[in-house]
Amino acid sequence: MKTRKNITQVLTKYTLLILLLSSINLFSQNSTKTNLIPMNNKNIVENKIDSLLSIMTLKEKIGQLVLYNGSWDVTGPPSDVGNKEKYEKLKNGEVGAMLNVTSVSGARELQSLVMDHSRLKIPLLFGYDVIHGFKTIFPIPLGESASWDIEAIEKSSSIAAKEATASGINWAFGPMVDISRDARWGRIMEGAGEDPFLGSKIAVARIQGFQGNDLSDNKTLAACAKHFAAYGFAEGGRDYNTVSIGEYELYNTVLPPFKATAKAGVATMMSAFNEVDGIPATGHKKLQREILKKDWNWDGFIVSDWASIAEMIYHGYAKDKIHAAERAIIAGNDMDMEGRAYEAGLEKLVKEGKVDEKLIDDAVKRILKVKLDLGLFDDPFKYCDETREKKDIYTKENLEFSRNVAKKSIVLLKNDKDILPLKKDIQSIAVIGPLADDKDTPIGSWRGMATANSAVSLLEGIKAKVDKNVKVSHAQGVKLGKDERNFIKELAINREDTSGITEAVDIAKSAGLVVLAIGEEAFQSGEARSQADIELTIPQQKLFEAIYEVNKNIVVVLMNGRPMAITHVAEKAPAIVEAWHLGSESGNAIADVLFGDYNPSGKLPVSFPRSVGQVPIYYNAKNTGRPSNPEGLVFWSHYTDEKNEPLFPFGHGLSYTTFDYKDLKISSSSFSSGGNINVSITVTNTGKRKGKEVVQLYIRDLIGSLTRPVKELKGFELIELEPGKSKTVSFIINEETIQFYTVNRKWEAEPGEFKVFIGGSSNTLLETGFSFEK
Active site residues: 305
Residue 260's CB is within 10 A of a number of other CB atoms, namely 21
Taking the CA of residue 465 as centre, how many other CA atoms within 13 Å lie in the half-sphere pointing to its CB?
26
Neighbouring-strand partners of residue 473: 430
Q: Which residues of 526-537 are buried (b: 16+ CB within 10 A; e: fewer)?
A: bbebbbeebbbb
Residue 483's CB is within 10 A of a number of other CB atoms, namely 11
Backbone angles phi, psi at 238, to 5 degrees: -90, 125
Cα(560)–Cα(519) distance, integer angstroms: 5
Is the distance from CB of 172 to CB of 224 less than 8 angstroms? yes
Is the distance from CB of 137 to CB of 157 less than 8 angstroms? no
User: End-to-end alpha-carbon separation of the chain, Å?
Assistant: 69
Is the distance from CB of 333 to CB of 360 less than 8 angstroms? no
Is the distance from CB of 655 to CB of 693 less than 8 angstroms? yes
Cβ-Cβ contacts under 8 Å for 534 (sequence gap 6 or more): 183, 184, 562, 563, 564, 565, 609, 612, 615
SS3 434: coil
SS3 555: strand
Radius of gyration of the chain (CA): 27
Handedness of CA 575, 601, 680, 689 (dihedral sign): positive
Cα(710)–Cα(621) distance, integer angstroms: 6
Residue 739's CB is within 10 A of a number of other CB atoms, namely 14
CA 384 to each of CA 56, 104, 291, 450: distance values in angstroms, whole numbers, following the listed order: 27, 5, 37, 20
User: If phi over 0 gives left and psi between -120 and 50 gives alpha, with beta otherwise, what is residue 332?
Assistant: left
Backbone angles phi, psi at 698, to 5 degrees: -125, 150
Is the distance from CB of 687 to CB of 658 less than 8 angstroms? yes
Residue 628 carries which DSSP code?
-
In order, the DSSP letters of 679-725 are EEEEEEE-SSS-EEEEEEEEEEESS-SS--BS-EEEEEEEEEE-TT-
Residue 183's CB is within 10 A of a number of other CB atoms, namely 29
Residue 766 exposed, middle or buried by CB count within 10 Å (0-12, 13-18, 19+): middle
Cα(487)–Cα(445) distance, integer angstroms: 8
User: If phi over 0 gives left and psi between -120 and 50 gives alpha, with beta otherwise, what is residue 509?
Assistant: alpha
Cα(443)–Cα(454) distance, integer angstroms: 8
Backbone angles phi, psi at 212, to 5 degrees: 60, -160
Residues 736, 739, 741: CA angle, nearest 5 degrees: 140
Residue 340 exposed, middle or buried by CB count within 10 Å (0-12, 13-18, 19+): buried
